[in-house]
Amino acid sequence: MEIFNPHSNIHFLNLRRYSIAVALVLFIGSIALLVTRGLNYGLDFTGGVLVEVSYAQPVDAGTVRETLARAGYPHALVQGLGGTREFSIRLQPRGAADVRALNQQQGAADQVAAQVIRVLKAARPDATLKRTDFVGPQVGSELRNNGVVAVIFVIIGIMIYLWARFEKRFAVAALVTEVHDTIITLGFYALTQRDFDLTVLASVLAVVGYSINDKVVVFDRVRELFRSARRADSEDVLNRAINSTLSRTIITSLFTGIAMAVLFFFGGPAVHGFAITMLIGIVVGTLSSIFIASPLLLWMGVSKKDLMPVTKENPELARRP
């Protein structure tokens, strides 16, 4: 079975003005969102208390909220966990005043969880505790810093590898598209205000890995075509590289997407965020492989002579007949 015409020669690079413009708009939009709305950091990063309860009988989230408000937790965030019997309750400091209020009322943060359960059980005896989390704020901020360091470390490591294996322009193109993919994925989280927790951070790094995987395949073909072509017109070579890897790019994305969709629908709330990030990352990464990476290479002026095997520059070898 073949979905893609093997002889397709879509002129992707002709679209480069539009594709880069769209990418720029998305990129700047994402940054604007990140600056204005910011990420809705989960408990792992902000510190605070999370309680998950399940009820034997269905219950309304509003009722739970009310019960908690009456007990002195007006800021408790109550969310249903897919159904009307399971809820997550978060008491997360949103500013210094909140921290003070929370603690003055109830003492140490790690006792709040016990108190919440007592309150809920008093109102509805069929409430049972599924899990509780208490994270100290300094642990959270450390994690956030480590996460940023990890992302930078990974991107730089990949750049160095590509610089050595390919050429500096490829490294730069990879860096730019990586940053683009990461920022847009984060932008989605800023837009939807979905919980940004440790698992999501891990998946953002996995997106970096996936997306670079995709680019390297295209770059590899670019290198191969440049080396084998006798008269290499850069634009033509880049376009051919995209076209000949097109079916692979899309089929792999499709297969990985299938696996992630399964995780999204059947994996439960613990890996929900992970699956969503990956799905977005796969789409963004695939598009940037096709529409952004190569135009960048073209603009930076990649040519045949940059990619010829290093041995040619070895004078020892060049002298030989």
Partner 1 sequence: MTDFPRWKYGLVLVVLLFGILYALPNVFRPQAAVQIQGSSSNPITPALQRQVVQVLRKAGTPDLESTRSGDKLLLRFSNTDTQLKAYTALRDGLGDRYVVALNLASTVPGWLRAIGANAMPLGLDLQGGVHFLLQVDAKSVLDQQMQRYLDDVRDSLRAKHIDYDSLNRRGGTISVVLKTAAARDAARTLIARNDSALQLANGASGNGRYVLDATLGAAELTKIENSIITQNLTTMRNRVNALGVSEPVIQQQGATRIVVELPGVQDTAQAKRILGATATLEFHPVDQSADIEQILKTGIVSPEDRLYRMRDGRPLVLKKKVIASGDEMVNASSGFDPQSGQPTVNVELDSAAAARMFDFTTRNVGKNMAIVYIERIPEVKQVDGKEVHTSKTKEQVISDATVQGVFSKNFQITGLTQTEAQNLALLLKSGSLAAPMNIVEERVIGPSLGQLNIEKGLLSVLLGLGLVLVAAAIYYKLFGLVADIALVFNLVLLVAVLSLFQATLTMPGIAGIVLTLGMAIDANVLICERVREELRNGSTPLASIRAGYEKAWATILDANVTHLLAAFGLMTFGSGSIRGFAITLAVGILTSMFTSVTVTHAITALIHGGRKLKTLSV
Interface residues for partner 1 in 11-50 (CB under 8 A)? 47
Q: Which helix (DSSP H) or strand (DSSP E) does residue 253 occupy?
A: helix 234-266
Q: Is 135 or 186 the residue whose CB approaches partner 1 more closely?
A: 135
Residue 43, CB-side half-sphere exposure with 13 Å CA sphere: 16
**Given 26, 77, 123, 206, the residue binding partner 1 (CB under 8 A):** 206
Q: Which of residues 81-120 bind partner 1 (CB under 8 A)?
A: 96-97, 99-100, 103-104, 108-110, 113
Q: Is 179 in the site for partner 1 (CB under 8 A)?
A: no
Tell me which residue of 229, 320, 301 sits closest to 312, measured CA to CA.
320
Please give the single-letter amino acid code of residue 268.
G
CA–CA separation, 207 vs 254, rounded Å? 15
Among 78, 116, 147, 234, contact with partner 1 (rule: CB under 8 A): 147
Q: Is 278 helix (H, G, I), strand (E, B) or coil?
A: helix
Stretch that binds partner 1, among 15-23, 34-42, 123-131, 299-307 (CB under 8 A): 123-131
Nearer to partner 1, 123 or 206 (CB): 206
Is 136 one of the binding residues for partner 1 (CB under 8 A)? Answer: yes
Which residue in 57, 138, 310, 321 binds partner 1 (CB under 8 A)? 138
CA atoms within 13 A on the CB side of 50: 17
What distances in angstroms separate CA 312 from CA 9, 167, 168, 218, 318, one per listed residue? 32, 15, 18, 24, 6
309 lines the binding site for partner 1 (CB under 8 A) = no
Q: Which of 172, 263, 283, 300 binds partner 1 (CB under 8 A)?
A: 263
Q: How many residues bind partner 1 (CB under 8 A)?
A: 83
How would you classify residue 20: left for phi > 0, otherwise alpha for psi between -120 and 50, otherwise beta?
alpha
